[in-house]
């Protein structure tokens, strides 16, 4: 197992390098003089000259890339001019908020989605199945940012159950119950689409598995139907569901950008949007590379989980 | 194509999607012709008018602009941008995919590596990076969304192209001296195009949503130009005081995406052949029963099948897989049921414990009695208790019939614990004993194997051990040796025979192989087209087959007890089960057939334990008995 994890980690190295190359190439699309673009309003001649020196912007492209890569590996993602602090510090601070939001949503959509899919498959064409199918259809069609806004109207403004936005109350907040109250709506809004997608996928995976011979064997043994569904069928269906969870994690992470804007969540998505609007390009560049790298590592964890679940995978 | 459209519209949800989408398109097309106010004409005096106000059916926004007019303009823009993004992504992505798939080798490798890298990003990061580099704006948002979706098309189309590139018509084109460009454009593209269109139809809703999303974030369309996303984004600050300005564009996005999703689902379903055949239905815990005729009276046999009817209802077709089968099994007896595939022998076996997949299976008449108790009419819990405990099964291919993800020891223990409250440790000890009973060497260490780590013969021994777990009275073995090679087959047969003698087990042995029957069975029933056509002690049937079909079956066997034999050597095919003739079902393949054979149903007649369903039998059962 340890060897397998190591192997997967090593295979991630070229992907991570590829990510830096792609981001680097995209950023070289910037029209005009990069230093001026990066500095924006701060583009005094001295600053431009200093930045050109720091980033090697006078050097040819290839060298510029390696300077950038080398700096990042040292933990130096550059400096945010709009915030006047190191990019990495800002990212780390914001990323923890995003992790709380996206992580909660991911857990929610995995549990709810699989549950809905299993119930739906077990009661195929029954009332529960039809109801779930309908709710899922709405869930995957409603834009998460619109859903978030409607939730604010209903639960925060009309019913006054939950706070409108933010991560903590400004006065007297900061403890866990406070966080949970603030987290509930954004996490639910963010997980809606992924829940729907996972539920659909889980339903069809379950239906596929329930027709397999080994399910008939379990029934022939006299195993109770509940156990046939939860142990035999679900376990086998998970092999198909887990990769979908990995893909959906990427969508949850993406959707977090909208939800962070709607709910004023101080996460990395809002940071990126603000950085784009203030043209703080080093912050954008660093944020994109950092989050993408985290996602690649997360997908390795998914692969490892898959190999734990399926003994047929050579580890 | 017409059949496809008919299927698409038979799907009510897809129809709803089509109607909704058509209505939205109509709305977009018709509104410029109506006398609506200028969508960008501000009127500060008329700010935030509520819907259904005079002159403003949907009200006005924070600058007093008419919401209906803005909705029409915004929807038009969103649709246009989304469709444009889809077209760009499809064109570039498909081009990349076709090139990679057609040329293969290094080119393919390099391109697909790049595509994989792009797919390693959560999509929005890529889109944000592109917008960051190019600057906010609707055009740049469009480019970003299109770019993000290029890998999806590239990968899908490459897969299709790789399949096509190896086909004869491409080789032929190459040999005829066509250039690469011409082959790609005239040979490959027409074949790939439908796939591209389908992939587009399923992603266009997504792209509309994404461009709207970027506009919502303020990175797409810039004021005063507004698509649905930026309408919603601008309305957000007034969400609490004037929610209608948010609800109007939000609902429109929702309806667009939903209608496209419904249509996409409909297209996918209409193209999926499995949905048509009902093969995606989940089989229930027990076979559905719908008996109309009175249930036959109990007997005191160990196991008795009484006039059993099992059918498959597929669409409008009714397949009579088991059509009035009666059989009895005595304790310690081995009964063989033999027939070609499709003769109904396996369905007969599965009907006993309600294991016929349902839907589409349905037991429509007769009874299965175990010690007099009717299992067909029994409630689920009663049936479950009998399954594996009193009547156990051994199935054909143990690689697919054992659970691939559980250790065999756990699967054995589960069989025990489904019927007996024993501790895990004891169940494990019993599992070891069972593996020893079926002569698996190193039983203890084999417990922790997964099925894929065992050989076919070993796996089938595990299957047998599982059937023995609760010391049942009857074992139903459904072609248990068909998937095995000859020597292993012989070992398994002798193992079954020993177990039967040692334990007084009754065995129902389903097979297509008379050699196996001769080796193992006391009695044999021959099935054809869902009915028993001959029945009797094995020796008597083998020496003097009465039914022409039986005689031909035996003639197909080159030498008893050796190797695999297929019954396909009889010319002709068994009849389709939804269109059985009134008389003898074998008549079309029978050399002795006469008009009388097809006139009326022929009864199964005989004396004692020997019976035959034929007007002109080879031997009179009376003589043979
Ligand atoms: S009934 Fe007639 S057709 Fe049928 S098997 Fe006998 S002889 Fe042949």
- pLDDT tens for A12-33 read 898 899 999 999 888 887 776 7
- Ligand 1 within 6 A of CB of B597: yes
What are A56-77's pLDDT values in tens digits? Answer: 677 788 888 888 899 888 888 8
pLDDT exceeds cutoff 50 at B624:
no
User: Quick check: A220 and B126 CB within 8 A?
Assistant: no
Show the CA angle centred on residue B358, arms to residues B378 and B475, nearest 5°: 60
**Residue B528, beta-bridge partner list:** B531
- pLDDT average, residue stretch B282-309: 87
- The string of DSSP letters for B489-554 reads HHHHHHHHHHHHHHHT-EEEEEES-HHHHHHH-SEEEEEETTEEEEEEEHHHHHHS--SHHHHHHH
Distance of CA B526 to the CA centre of its chain: 31
User: Quick check: B124 and A254 CB within 8 A?
Assistant: yes
Q: Is B314 exposed, middle or buried (0-12, 13-18, 19+ CB in 10 A)?
A: middle
* B168 Cα to chain A: minimum distance (Å): 34
Sign of the dihedral through C-alpha A211, A217, A219, A220: positive
pLDDT exceeds cutoff 80 at B41:
no
- The string of DSSP letters for A14-76 reads HHHHHHHHHHHHHHTT--S-HHHHHHGGG--HHHHHHHHHHHTTTS-HHHHHHHHHHHHHTT-
pLDDT exceeds cutoff 80 at A52:
no
Compute the distance between CA of residue B343 and CA of residue B529 in angstroms, rounded to an integer: 5
pLDDT at res. B8: 66
* A228 Cα to chain B: minimum distance (Å): 9
Q: Which of A46-60, A170-184, B26-40, B338-352 has the highest mean pLDDT?
A: B338-352
User: Quick check: A299 and B120 CB within 8 A?
Assistant: yes
Domains present along chain A, CATH in parentheses: 1-87 (no CATH), 88-309 (1.10.3720.10)
Dihedral through CA B241, CA B247, CA B248, CA B252, nearest 10?
Answer: 160
Nearest to A137 among B129, B258, B283 (CB): B258
Phi, psi angles (nearest 5°) of residue B44: -60, -25
- pLDDT average, residue stretch B362-374: 90
pLDDT at res. B272: 67
Delimit the domains of chain B by residue range. Answer: 64-271, 529-560+567-624
Distance of CA B282 to the CA centre of its chain: 9
pLDDT exceeds cutoff 90 at B561:
no
A268: enclosing H helix or E strand: helix A268-277
pLDDT at res. B559: 53
- How far is CA B521 from each of CA A260, B471, B572, rounded to the nearest angstrom? 73, 20, 28
- B576 CA → ligand 1 middle, Å: 18
B419–A contact, CB cutoff 8 A: yes
pLDDT at res. A144: 92
pLDDT exceeds cutoff 50 at B277:
no
- B364 CA → ligand 1 middle, Å: 27
- pLDDT average, residue stretch A93-97: 92
- pLDDT average, residue stretch A290-300: 91
CB A114 within 8 A of CB A202: yes
Taking contacts as CB-CB distances below 8 angstroms, the residues of chain B near A257 are 124, 128, 217
Phi, psi angles (nearest 5°) of residue B122: -60, 130
CB B161 within 8 A of CB B104: no
Compute the distance between CA of residue B311 and CA of residue B324 in angstroms, rounded to an integer: 11
B119 versus B572: which is more confidently predicted? B119
Compute the distance between CA of residue B352 and CA of residue B499 in angstroms, rounded to an integer: 22
- Short-list B171, B126, B176, B167, CA closest to B149: B126
| Structure-block tokens of residue A34 | 């990069």
Compute the distance between CA of residue A187 and CA of residue A164 in angstroms, rounded to an integer: 13
Between B2-16, B252-266, B608-622, the lowest mean confidence (pLDDT) is in B2-16
pLDDT at res. B507: 94
Counting every residue written for chain A, the total comes to 315
pLDDT exceeds cutoff 50 at A307:
yes
CB B249 within 8 A of CB B74: yes
CB B303 within 8 A of CB B369: yes
A302 versus B557: which is more confidently predicted? A302
The residue written with tokens 């690469």 in the block is: B180
pLDDT at res. B181: 84
pLDDT exceeds cutoff 80 at B571:
no
B478: enclosing H helix or E strand: strand B474-478
Tally Cβ neighbours within 10 Å of residue B209: 27
What is residue A266's three-state secondary structure?
A: coil
- How far is CA A248 from each of CA A54, A135, A253, rounded to the nearest angstrom? 38, 18, 8
Compute the distance between CA of residue B337 and CA of residue B354 in angstroms, rounded to an integer: 18
What are B15-34's pLDDT values in tens digits? Answer: 888 899 999 999 988 888 87
B32 versus B390: which is more confidently predicted? B390
User: Quick check: A213 and B401 CB within 8 A?
Assistant: yes
B251 versus B566: which is more confidently predicted? B251
Compute the distance between CA of residue A67 and CA of residue A20 in angstroms, rounded to an integer: 12
Q: Is B12 exposed, middle or buried (0-12, 13-18, 19+ CB in 10 A)?
A: exposed
pLDDT band at B605 (very low <50, low <70, confident <90, very high): confident
User: Quick check: B120 and A212 CB within 8 A?
Assistant: no
Q: Provide the ipTM.
A: 0.89
Percent of the residues in chain B that have a pLDDT greater than 90, as a whole number: 36
User: Quick check: A221 and B388 CB within 8 A?
Assistant: yes
Compute the distance between CA of residue B604 and CA of residue B584 in angstroms, rounded to an integer: 11
What are B147-206's pLDDT values in tens digits? Answer: 999 999 999 899 888 888 878 888 888 888 788 888 888 888 888 888 888 888 888 888
pLDDT at res. B560: 46
B318: enclosing H helix or E strand: strand B317-329
B359–A contact, CB cutoff 8 A: no
Taking contacts as CB-CB distances below 8 angstroms, the residues of chain B near A221 are 387-388, 392, 414-415, 418, 466, 469
Asked whether the bond before A87 is cis by omega within 30 degrees of 0, the reply is no
Mutual angle of helices B189-216 and A234-262, in 10-degree steps: 40
pLDDT exceeds cutoff 90 at A145:
yes
Pocket test for ligand 1, best of B587, B591, B603 (most atoms within 8 A of CB): B587
| Structure-block tokens of residue A277 | 């609007």
User: Quick check: B254 and A121 CB within 8 A?
Assistant: no
pLDDT band at B62 (very low <50, low <70, confident <90, very high): confident
**Residue B527, beta-bridge partner list:** B532
pLDDT at res. A60: 80
Q: Which atom of ligand 1 is nearest to the CA of B533?
A: 5
- Cα end-to-end span (Å), chain B: 61
Compute the distance between CA of residue A65 and CA of residue A258 in angstroms, rounded to an integer: 31
- Ligand 1 within 6 A of CB of B612: no
A225–B contact, CB cutoff 8 A: yes
pLDDT at res. B9: 63
- pLDDT average, residue stretch B409-429: 92
A107–B contact, CB cutoff 8 A: no
Nearest CA in chain B to A152: B240
pLDDT at res. B23: 93
Q: Is B423 exposed, middle or buried (0-12, 13-18, 19+ CB in 10 A)?
A: exposed
Compute the distance between CA of residue B448 and CA of residue A212 in angstroms, rounded to an integer: 23
Q: Which residues contact B360 (CB under 8 A, 6 or more apart)?
A: B278, B281, B312, B313, B314
What are B218-228's pLDDT values in tens digits? Answer: 998 888 888 89
pLDDT exceeds cutoff 80 at B527:
yes
* A21 Cα to chain B: minimum distance (Å): 10
Q: What is the number of H-type helices and E-type strands within chain A? A: 13, 2
Compute the distance between CA of residue A105 and CA of residue A103 in angstroms, rounded to an integer: 5
B64-271 CATH fold: MetI-like fold (1.10.3720)
Counting every residue written for chain B, the total comes to 625
The residue written with tokens 């101080």 in the block is: A266
What are A200-225's pLDDT values in tens digits? Answer: 999 989 988 998 899 999 999 999 99
pLDDT at res. B1: 64
Distance of CA B290 to the CA centre of its chain: 25
* A73 Cα to chain B: minimum distance (Å): 19
**Residue B368, beta-bridge partner list:** B305
Compute the distance between CA of residue A200 and CA of residue A110 in angstroms, rounded to an integer: 12
**Residue B524, beta-bridge partner list:** B336, B536
pLDDT at res. B617: 86
- pLDDT average, residue stretch A166-174: 74
Interface of A with B in 153-182 (CB under 8 A): 153, 157, 164
Compute the distance between CA of residue B152 and CA of residue B158 in angstroms, rounded to an integer: 10
Phi, psi angles (nearest 5°) of residue B30: -80, -35
Q: Which atom of ligand 1 is nearest to the CA of B597?
A: 2
Q: Where are the beta strands (DSSP E) in A160-300?
A: none
pLDDT at res. B509: 94
Half-sphere exposure of B54 (CA within 13 A, CB side): 1
CB A142 within 8 A of CB A132: no
State the pairing for strand pair B334-338/B506-511: parallel
């Amino acid at each position: 197992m340890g060897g397998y994890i190591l192997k997967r980690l090593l295979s991630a190295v070229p992907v991570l390098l590829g990510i830096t190359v792609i981001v680097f190439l995209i950023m070289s699309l910037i029209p005009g003089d990069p230093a001026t673009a990066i500095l924006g309003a701060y583009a005094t001649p001295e600053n431009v000259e200093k930045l050109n020196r720091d980033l090697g912007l006078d050097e040819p492209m290839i060298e510029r890339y390696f300077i950038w890569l080398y700096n990042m590996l040292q933990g130096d993602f550059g400096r945010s001019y709009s915030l006047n602090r190191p990019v990495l510090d800002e990212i780390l601070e914001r990323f923890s908020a995003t992790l709380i939001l996206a992580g909660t949503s991911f857990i929610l959509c995995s549990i709810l989605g699989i549950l809905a899919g299993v119930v739906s498959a077990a009661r195929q064409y029954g009332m529960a199945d039809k109801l779930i199918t309908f709710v899922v259809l709405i869930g995957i069609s409603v834009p998460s940012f619109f859903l978030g806004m409607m939730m604010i109207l209903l639960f925060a403004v009309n019913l006054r159950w939950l706070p409108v936005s933010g991560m903590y109350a400004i006065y007297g907040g900061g403890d866990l119950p406070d966080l949970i109250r603030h987290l509930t709506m954004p996490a639910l809004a963010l997980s809606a689409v992924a829940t729907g997608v996972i539920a659909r996928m889980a339903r069809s995976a379950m239906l596929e598995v329930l027709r397999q011979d080994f399910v008939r064997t379990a029934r022939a043994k006299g195993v109770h139907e509940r156990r046939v569904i939860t142990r035999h069928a679900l376990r086998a269906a998970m092999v198909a569901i887990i990769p979908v969870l990995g893909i959906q994690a990427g969508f949850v992470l993406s959707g977090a950008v909208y939800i962070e804007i709607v709910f004023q969540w101080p996460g990395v998505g809002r940071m990126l949007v603000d950085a784009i609007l203030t043209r703080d390009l080093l912050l954008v560049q660093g944020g994109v590379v950092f989050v993408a790298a985290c996602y690649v590592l997360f997908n390795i964890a998914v692969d490892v989980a898959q190999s734990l679940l399926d003994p047929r995978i050579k580890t | 194509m017409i059949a496809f459209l008919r299927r698409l519209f038979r799907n009510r949800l897809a129809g709803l999607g089509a109607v909704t989408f058509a209505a939205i398109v109509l709305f977009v097309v018709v509104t410029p012709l109506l006398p609506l106010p200028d969508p960008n004409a501000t009127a500060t005096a008329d700010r935030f008018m509520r819907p259904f106000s005079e002159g403003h059916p949907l009200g006005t926004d924070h600058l007093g602009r008419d919401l209906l007019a803005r909705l029409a303009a915004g929807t038009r823009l969103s649709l246009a941008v989304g469709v444009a993004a889809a077209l760009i992504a499809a064109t570039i992505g498909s081009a990349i995919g076709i090139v990679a798939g057609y040329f293969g080798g290094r080119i393919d490798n390099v391109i697909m590596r790049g595509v994989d890298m792009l797919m390693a990003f959560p999509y929005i990061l890529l889109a944000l990076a592109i917008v960051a580099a190019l600057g906010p704006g609707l055009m740049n948002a469009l480019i970003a969304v299109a770019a993000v979706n290029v890998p999806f098309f590239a990968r899908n189309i490459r897969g299709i192209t790789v399949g096509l590139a190896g086909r004869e018509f491409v080789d032929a084109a190459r040999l005829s001296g066509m250039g690469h460009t011409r082959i790609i454009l005239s040979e490959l593209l027409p074949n790939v195009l439908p796939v591209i269109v389908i992939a587009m139809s399923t992603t266009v809703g997504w792209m509309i949503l994404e461009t709207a999303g970027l506009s919502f974030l303020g990175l797409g369309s810039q004021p005063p130009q507004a698509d649905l996303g930026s309408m919603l984004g601008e309305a957000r600050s007034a969400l609490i005081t004037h929610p209608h300005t948010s609800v109007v564009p939000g609902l429109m996005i929702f309806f667009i995406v939903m209608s496209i999703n419904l249509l996409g689902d409909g297209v996918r379903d209409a193209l999926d052949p499995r949905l048509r055949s009902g093969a995606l239905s989940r089989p229930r815990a027990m076979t559905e029963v719908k008996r109309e005729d009175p249930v036959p009276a109990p007997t005191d046999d160990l196991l008795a099948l009484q006039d059993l009817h099992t059918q498959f209802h597929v669409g409008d077709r009714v397949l009579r897989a088991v059509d009035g089968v009666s059989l009895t099994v005595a304790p310690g007896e081995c009964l063989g049921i033999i027939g070609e595939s499709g003769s109904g022998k396996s369905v007969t076996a599965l009907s006993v414990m309600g294991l016929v997949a349902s839907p589409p299976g349905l037991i429509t008449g007769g009874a299965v009695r175990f010690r007099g108790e009717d299992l067909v009419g029994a409630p689920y819990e009663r049936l479950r208790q009998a399954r594996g405990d009193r009547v156990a099964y051994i199935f054909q291919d143990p690689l697919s019939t054992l659970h691939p993800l559980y250790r065999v020891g756990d699967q054995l223990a589960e069989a025990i614990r489904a019927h007996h409250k024993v501790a895990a440790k004891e169940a494990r000890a019993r599992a070891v004993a069972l593996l020893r009973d079926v002569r698996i060497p190193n039983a203890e260490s084999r417990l922790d194997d997964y099925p894929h780590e065992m050989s076919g013969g070993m796996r089938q021994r595990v299957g047998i051990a599982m059937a023995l777990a609760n010391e049942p009275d009857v074992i139903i073995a459904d072609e248990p040796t068909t998937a095995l090679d000859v020597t292993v087959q012989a070992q398994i047969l002798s193992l079954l025979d020993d177990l039967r003698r040692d334990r007084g087990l009754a065995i129902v042995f389903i097979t297509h192989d008379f050699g196996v029957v001769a080796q193992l069975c006391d009695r044999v029933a021959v099935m054809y087209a869902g009915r028993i056509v001959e029945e009797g002690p094995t020796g008597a049937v083998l020496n003097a087959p009465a039914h022409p079909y039986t005689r031909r079956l035996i003639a197909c066997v080159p030498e008893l007890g050796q190797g695999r034999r297929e019954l396909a050597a009889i010319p002709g095919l068994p009849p389709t089960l939804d269109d059985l003739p009134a008389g003898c079902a074998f008549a079309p393949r029978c050399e002795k057939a006469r008009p009388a054979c097809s006139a009326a149903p022929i009864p199964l007649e005989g004396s004692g334990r020997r019976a035959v369903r034929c007007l002109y039998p080879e031997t009179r059962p009376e003589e043979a008995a």
